[in-house]
Structure 1
Amino acid sequence: MIGKTLWERQLHQRGSASAVAVTEDRVVVHERHTRLVCLDRYDGSVRWDVPIGTWPRAVVVAGDRCLVLAHDTDQLSCLDLTTGAVVWRAGLPPFSGHVVATAETVIVGGWRGYTPMAAFNLKDGRPLWRTQQPTATVLPLSWDGGVLSGSGSEAWLIDPHDGRELGRWRLPEPLADTDHRPAFTLVDPDRCLMPCGPRSVVAIQLSSGLVDQFFRHDSDLLASAAEFTGGVVWLSERRAGYLAVDPGDGSKLWNVEVRQPLVSGVVRDGEGFVVVSEGGVLFRLRSDGHVLERCSSVTGVVALRDLGAGEMIMVTKGTLRVITVKPHSDAL
């Protein structure tokens, strides 16, 4: 077997990757329709349990703060990560979405172009700035002290403290519409990848301002951010499978074709990797992508997260499950 279950928690609702945040020793998850719960990362015991509202559009941990944007309250709530106590709340326009935090600020808004983007002081919730008009952007990313945003054929970097523009890039194709999911992937401190058009991944370089086509596929890719795990860039194909790409030159390394839709999340397993299908089948891969082992777990898997130390967390339609990744002994 690939591993054993260390602990499992019933959510009493459908699990969502955007409603789970993981730190070194905590897992924060939305459950039971209106509750936000902080669990011990190692044994699943409850550290705190507070009411927060329904179906959060984002749960983000930033240092000793937990930021939650609930669907029904039009509020950004900042909680103390240790106790769950409310530190501050900020009212937002209806249909606000996207939350990104830096060391000192929180930026919210821009989802589907419904609302302006606005920034708040992370410590006390003090408003810092707001765009004059609704702004469309994919999910922003904190990058080198700035915040990277993008829409259409442009990406731009802003100063989180005052909203002024620090840099702008013209893209060869429009950014893929990833909705509430991540769009940007850092592969090193100076280089960020983003999906553009139906088949391309573009790299932008912070120091030089260059925009290069990193990879172009011969069939459509999913509209989602690349994953960077174990020194490999992972791209999701529209048909079942992952495509592995060299992060240096963008050359194709291998395909992972298991004839089952795979969920987001690649876990490092020693020299190899683990992926999981929507049907709950775990696949152990060799370092060249060859399938060594497979085993059935649970159905209705939503996402997989690497916890490090040979462990991973699986989000399903109704549970959280933490699983060990045991060293493999025999190939298939």
Structure 2
Amino acid sequence: MVVVELWERVLHQRGAHSRLCVAGGRVLVHERHSRLVCLDAADGSPGWDVPLGTWPRALVVAGDRVLALPQDRPVLSCFALASGALLWQAELARCSGHLTVLDGVVLTGGWRGYTAPAAFALADGRPLWRAPAPVRTELPAAWAGGLLLGDGTRAWLLDPRTGRETASWLLPLPLAGADSGTVFTVLDEDRCAAVCGSRSVVVLSRTGRAVEVLRPQRNALLGGAPLRADGLLWLRERRCGGGGGWVGVDPLDGTPRQRVAVRERPVTAGVVGTPTGVAVALEDGALLRVPGQELPGAPAGPAGPARRTGHRERIGHRVAAVHPLGPGRLLAVTRNSLRAWQL
């Protein structure tokens, strides 16, 4: 089945330099080096367009609000999702980064250890608390009723209203960091996964504060959070010789079930679920649609699951990342534009 292009939005800057967020039938994207734009996810039509500043360190949609932190100004801005109206701004310490929202609380700070984590009220930007000293953490995740932070071989949970630590975990290997990207993947209310070291996936459990190490992976992994699609956890592999791939593993024990391996070109960021499996993209602009996962319990064989490359189609000259855009749809970040496709 041939993919059908739905719309295209020229960004007037390199696609890889644009931060975006998909939520509530809308696409929020930074473009023209200084603007934040809201697009209709169905047809790409612009809803509103506001000045923001240079590339955002963070961009988050929380309910009916949009939070953005530009790189050139230490100011956290909150906009109305429906209209783009500026609701409030909060001054931050220089080089602040990271944004996570939970239960009406906005947490920022801790990026590269430059600043102390600080919390603000989502409703009006009122300061709630600030840590007494700078803390280095990967991008926090909302999980288990708290905010999960991590650095090196330690992860810890904060109460969003007070900043008090309520739980902690000692990891067997350091977290595979992602700088401003996510490292934690919430599996359910009790389990949260992350890549540690070069080949391991660990699962934190809220019950008993246990850390489970899943089956080690055969190939080295890139940093960043595992992605969920087609019932599997997808891990991006680091390969020699310019190629790349993704491996889909069972979220219960880490057993490989699917592998997408490409020798000639690296794969991009992102795995998107389709009605018949998953789709991944290559940096040269090719889209690979891969059939659904093998049945649970199916033998993987001595060399692991079969490598599948699926059906290949071109969706751009260069692709930096792909994102899910709703059932059966995909959003590709290309060389200088966003392009939406029906799968």
TM-score by length of 2: 0.92
Partner of 1:120: 120
Does structure 2 conserve the Cα–Cα contact (< 8 Å) formed by 1:202 and 1:215? no
What are the superposed Cα offsets for residues 218-266 of structure 1, whole Å, 9 maximum, x if unpaired?
3321011111112111001111001110112211113211222111211
The one-letter amino acid of 1:299's match is: H
Does 1:285 find its partner at 2:303?
no
Does structure 2 conserve the Cα–Cα contact (< 8 Å) formed by 1:18 and 1:58? no
CA distance in structure 2 between the partners assigned to 1:287 and 1:309 by the alignment: 15
Superposition map of 1:56-95 within 5 A? 56-95=56-95
Does 1:271 find its partner at 2:276?
yes
Partner of 1:324: 342
- The Cα RMSD (Å) is 1.3
Does structure 2 conserve the Cα–Cα contact (< 8 Å) formed by 1:154 and 1:168? yes
Task: Name stretches of at least 5 consecutive residues in structure 1 with no aligned partner.
Answer: 326-332
Superposition map of 1:208-247 within 5 A? 208-239=208-239, 240-247=244-251
Partner of 2:267: 262
What are the superposed Cα offsets for residues 151-209 of structure 1, whole Å, 9 maximum, x if unpaired?
01100010111101111000111111211111001122211111111221111011221
Runs of 4+ residues deviating >6 angstroms: none
Q: Does the residue aligned with 2:15 lie in a helix, a strand or coil?
A: coil
The one-letter amino acid of 1:226's match is: P
Does structure 1 conserve the Cα–Cα contact (< 8 Å) formed by 2:17 and 2:55? no
Task: Name stretches of at least 5 consecutive residues in structure 2 with no aligned partner.
Answer: 294-306
Partner of 2:141: 141
TM-score by length of 1: 0.95
Partner of 1:35: 35
Partner of 1:329: none
Q: Does the residue aligned with 1:39 lie in a helix, a strand or coil?
A: strand
The one-letter amino acid of 2:271's match is: V
Does structure 2 conserve the Cα–Cα contact (< 8 Å) formed by 1:312 and 1:322? yes
Identify which of 254, 257, 262 aligns with 1:250: 254
Partner of 2:20: 20
Task: Give the percent of matched residue pairs that are identical in Structure 1 and Structure 2.
Answer: 47
Task: Figure out how many residues of one structure are paired with residues of the other and give that number.
Answer: 325
The one-letter amino acid of 2:74's match is: D
Does structure 2 conserve the Cα–Cα contact (< 8 Å) formed by 1:229 and 1:266? yes
CA distance in structure 1 between the partners assigned to 2:143 and 2:18 by the alignment: 20
Partner of 1:312: 330
The one-letter amino acid of 1:141's match is: A
CA distance in structure 2 between the partners assigned to 1:54 and 1:205 by the alignment: 39
CA distance in structure 2 between the partners assigned to 1:245 and 1:227 by the alignment: 10
Q: Give, in angstroms, the shift of residue 307 of structure 1.
A: 1.6
CA distance in structure 2 between the partners assigned to 1:303 and 1:221 by the alignment: 17
Q: Give, in angstroms, the shift of residue 2 of structure 1.
A: 3.6
Q: 1:178 to 1:230 in 2, by over 3 A?
A: same
Q: Give, in angstroms, the shift of residue 130 of structure 1.
A: 0.6
CA distance in structure 2 between the partners assigned to 1:215 and 1:302 by the alignment: 30
CA distance in structure 1 between the partners assigned to 2:326 and 2:251 by the alignment: 21
The worse-fitting range, judged by mean Cα deviation, of 107-116 and 302-311 is: 302-311
CA distance in structure 1 between the partners assigned to 2:336 and 2:310 by the alignment: 29
CA distance in structure 2 between the partners assigned to 1:302 and 1:20 by the alignment: 12
Q: Does the residue aligned with 1:208 lie in a helix, a strand or coil?
A: helix
